[in-house]
Amino acid sequence: MLDHRHFHKYLSRADIETLVHDLATRINRDYEGKTVVLVGVLKGSFLFMADLVRALTVDARVEFVRMNSLGKTKESPGTVVFAKDISTDFRGKHALIVEQIIDSGRALKFLYDRLKAAGAESVEVATLLDKNDKRLVETPVKYVGRKTKDQFLVGYGLDLEESARNLAEVYFLKYPN
């Protein structure tokens, strides 16, 4: 059972709706007259992606991937592999990677390169939250809902040991000293 005493609200439902609306407005403008395939990164992106795709007016298709980091230790960041790879033929298509949060950028870079190699006409990235200060691997992120400092966030798809994904708002964890 989660101890909610240490959860402090970071984004309210209204904040999230505003960020999603603003991102969808930019995406709709940029992809007007085009078909875009949204590639959601499981598991964290599922709520954000659902809200985002409902806010889009352009022709939008949906794809999901799931990645794992193998051999991760303090000395080595590990190797990123697909637990669920893309199944869409991306040749000549516009791909939009949808991430809930970006921190180190390793998995994002792996997926970005995979979509480029699959022949995508364009590859862009949309994220609700960007921990740019933690970035170890640079990948262009075109659509950012909000930049955030390095703090542990849960809710709205983000988990704490697989719990708290179902919370409608985003919280940061703060433990007493």
- Residues that are catalytic: 103
Q: In sequence order, what are the residues at sequence separation of 6 or more whose Cβ sits closer than 8 angstroms to the Cβ of residue 127? A: 98, 99, 100, 101, 102, 141, 143, 144, 145
Closest CA to 48 of 156, 151, 152, 129: 156
Strand 94-102 relative to strand 35-42, pairing: parallel
Q: Supply the Cα-derived Rg of the chain in whole angstroms.
A: 16
Q: What are the CB-based long-range contacts (under 8 Å, 24+) for 106-110?
A: 106/69, 106/77, 106/78, 106/80, 106/136, 106/137, 107/41, 107/67, 107/69, 107/80, 108/41, 108/137, 108/139, 108/141, 109/137, 109/138, 109/139, 110/67, 110/80
Distance CA 97, CA 168 (A): 22
